[in-house]
């Protein structure tokens, strides 16, 4: 596979060089935060840490964490590190309640965000020959605009179609030969159905070959469904408004985990309960420190997103480490026999099995007994009890390998468990009762 690069030098820096760069930028970031942002000035003074005491990358662990509530408490402009007339853009990240988080960008910050998007898209194989239809909303949400800038930087023809209006989307696709699109996963599935109704075979009638989906959680199964239905490749990506928006981490053409752009973000994977750093391969909360933010540097931001570092080098040659797809939120974490477990890890194992249905529940009781009750797929039961026992055994072993805790697996007939209206309750924890 011929690997394309947007910024080959930076993307393939040796680890020692990359870490040297990170340290210099971390020191500068802490200095600026301490000097210009009263919130960080206070937080650093409280723990008695002076910026010049940051001497190695490991010293990041001495810095204070920043939470989403901190960002809200500093609303509207408490975290600004530049004079108030310097930012050129405001984006917000919505919360479920109360005031949003306000994120400011300088000219340079916007340019950097576009740069990272260009880097990300090129890593998936996008070139200036591509016609890029941006079917995402533009506005306070960063996704639409930042993706737009990235594609434009590469030299693609960008069609800012925004979301919805499937008739018009299809017309644009056909008339201008769209080859790549940015789209919500739920809309991609809907759009696939719409094409089918119109008698349009995406593989035969459209030039569309790549999709970038995001802004809402989706499973690996959904990705596969979109790929199959539209005959294209879907690339996983990770971003959040607090850290520029999309393009914090992106899959390359090998689709084996997302390279997190470490020259812009210093990453840590922490145990969400204790804050202790976790070794490669273990799931924990992703914590990010901005390394090049001008208007609004953020130290050790608790994203609440759960992921893990993937081991080994990527065949593409990029040296920036890869994180796994986000498997959940830190709030969902369960502790079973001293091990951190996320319900999504269990779901991933179950859903990878074609004989397993979609309805399942995780029950915790007694002294940390973990039971996974799951329905068989409608056509899976052939009347042979031995086959069920065999499947049960396989699932138990797979779950144990994933979780490091042996569960009891209960397979029940399709349709025998209650169907949830709205969001299903997946965890029943009877331990504290
Ligand atoms: Zn790669």
* Per-residue pLDDT at 421: 65
* Per-residue pLDDT at 74: 95
Instruction: Give CA 340 to chain center in angstroms.
Output: 20
pLDDT at 378 over 90: no
List, in order, residues 6 or more apart from 411 with CB less than 8 Å away: 374, 375, 376, 388, 391, 392, 395
Structure tokens at 393: 């055994």
* Per-residue pLDDT at 2: 60
* Per-residue pLDDT at 328: 83
Q: Identify whether the C-beta of residue 380 lies closer than 8 Å to the C-beta of residue 414.
A: yes
Is pLDDT larger for residue 419 or for residue 138? 138
Scored b (16 or more CB within 10 A) or e, 244-269 reads bbbbbbbbbbbeebbbbbbbbbbbbb
Task: Please tell me the distance between residue 21's alpha carbon and the centre of ligand 1 in angstroms.
Answer: 21
Task: Please tell me the distance between residue 321's alpha carbon and the centre of ligand 1 in angstroms.
Answer: 9
Q: Kindly indicate the confidence band of residue 214, based on its pLDDT and cuts at 50, 70 and 90.
A: confident
Task: Please tell me the distance between residue 259's alpha carbon and the centre of ligand 1 in angstroms.
Answer: 7
pLDDT at 95 over 70: no
pLDDT digits (tens, 9 = 90+) for 249-305: 999 999 999 999 999 999 999 999 899 999 999 999 999 999 999 999 999 999 999
Task: Please tell me the distance between residue 107's alpha carbon and the centre of ligand 1 in angstroms.
Answer: 29
* Per-residue pLDDT at 367: 84
d(CA 192, CA 181): 13
pTM confidence score = 0.86
Is pLDDT larger for residue 100 or for residue 267? 267
The CB-based long-range contact list for 101-106 (8 Å cut-off, 24+ gap) reads 101/68, 101/71, 101/72, 101/75, 101/241, 101/242, 102/71, 102/75, 102/76, 102/77, 103/142, 103/241, 103/242, 103/296, 104/77, 104/80, 104/295, 104/296, 105/244, 105/295, 105/296, 106/82, 106/294, 106/295
Q: Kindly indicate the confidence band of residue 330, based on its pLDDT and cuts at 50, 70 and 90.
A: confident
* Per-residue pLDDT at 110: 98
Q: Kindly indicate the confidence band of residue 433, based on its pLDDT and cuts at 50, 70 and 90.
A: low
Task: Please tell me the distance between residue 3's alpha carbon and the centre of ligand 1 in angstroms.
Answer: 9
Structure tokens at 120: 């990300």
Q: Kindly indicate the confidence band of residue 374, based on its pLDDT and cuts at 50, 70 and 90.
A: very high
Task: Please tell me the distance between residue 318's alpha carbon and the centre of ligand 1 in angstroms.
Answer: 6
Task: Please tell me the distance between residue 218's alpha carbon and the centre of ligand 1 in angstroms.
Answer: 21
**Mean pLDDT of the region 220-238:** 93
pLDDT at 376 over 60: yes
Q: Identify whether the C-beta of residue 276 lies closer than 8 Å to the C-beta of residue 249.
A: no
Q: Are strands 334-336 and 339-341 parallel, antiparallel or unpaired?
A: antiparallel
């Amino acid at each position: 596979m011929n690997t394309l690069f947007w910024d080959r030098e930076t993307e393939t820096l040796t680890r020692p060089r990359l870490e040297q760069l990170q340290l210099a930028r971390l020191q500068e970031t802490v200095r600026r935060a301490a000097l210009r942002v009263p919130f960080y000035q206070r937080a650093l003074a409280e723990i008695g840490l002076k910026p010049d005491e940051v001497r190695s990358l490991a010293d990041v662990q001495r810095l204070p964490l920043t939470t989403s509530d901190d960002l809200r408490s500093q609303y509207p402009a408490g975290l600004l590190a530049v004079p108030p007339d310097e930012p050129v853009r405001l984006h917000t990240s919505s919360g479920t309640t109360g005031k949003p988080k306000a994120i400011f960008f300088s000219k340079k910050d916007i340019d950097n965000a576009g740069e990272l998007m260009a880097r990300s898209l090129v890593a998936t194989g996008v070139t200036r020959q591509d016609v890029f239809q941006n079917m995402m909303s533009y506005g306070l949400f960063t996704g639409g605009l930042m993706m737009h800038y990235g594609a434009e930087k590469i030299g693609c023809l960008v069609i800012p179609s925004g979301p919805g209006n499937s008739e018009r989307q299809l017309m644009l696709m056909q008339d201008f030969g769209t080859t790549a699109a940015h789209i919500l996963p739920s809309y991609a599935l809907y759009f696939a159905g719409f094409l089918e109704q119109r008698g349009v075979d995406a593989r035969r009638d459209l030039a569309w070959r790549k999709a970038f989906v995001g802004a809402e959680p989706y499973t690996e199964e959904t990705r596969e469904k979109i790929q199959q239905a539209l005959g294209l490749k879907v690339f996983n990506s990770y971003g959040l408004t607090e850290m520029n928006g999309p393009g914090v981490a992106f899959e390359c053409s090998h689709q084996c985990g997302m390279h997190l752009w470490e020259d812009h973000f210093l990453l840590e994977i922490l145990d969400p309960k204790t804050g202790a750093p976790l070794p490669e391969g273990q799931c924990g909360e992703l914590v990010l420190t901005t390394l090049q933010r001008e208007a609004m540097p953020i130290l050790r931001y608790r994203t609440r997103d759960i992921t893990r570092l993937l081991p080994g080098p990527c065949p593409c040659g990029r040296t920036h480490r890869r994180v796994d797809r986000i498997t959940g939120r830190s709030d969902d974490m369960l502790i079973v026999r001293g091990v951190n477990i996320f319900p999504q890890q269990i779901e991933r194992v179950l859903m990878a099995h074609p004989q397993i249905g979609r309805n399942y529940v995780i029950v915790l009781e007694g002294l940390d007994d973990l039971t996974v009750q799951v329905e068989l797929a409608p056509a899976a039961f052939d009347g042979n009890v031995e086959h069920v026992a065999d499947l049960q055994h396989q699932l138990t072993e797979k779950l144990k390998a994933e979780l490091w805790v042996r569960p009891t697996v209960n397979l029940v007939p399709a349709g025998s468990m209650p169907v949830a209206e709205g969001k299903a309750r997946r965890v029943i924890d009877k331990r504290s009762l």
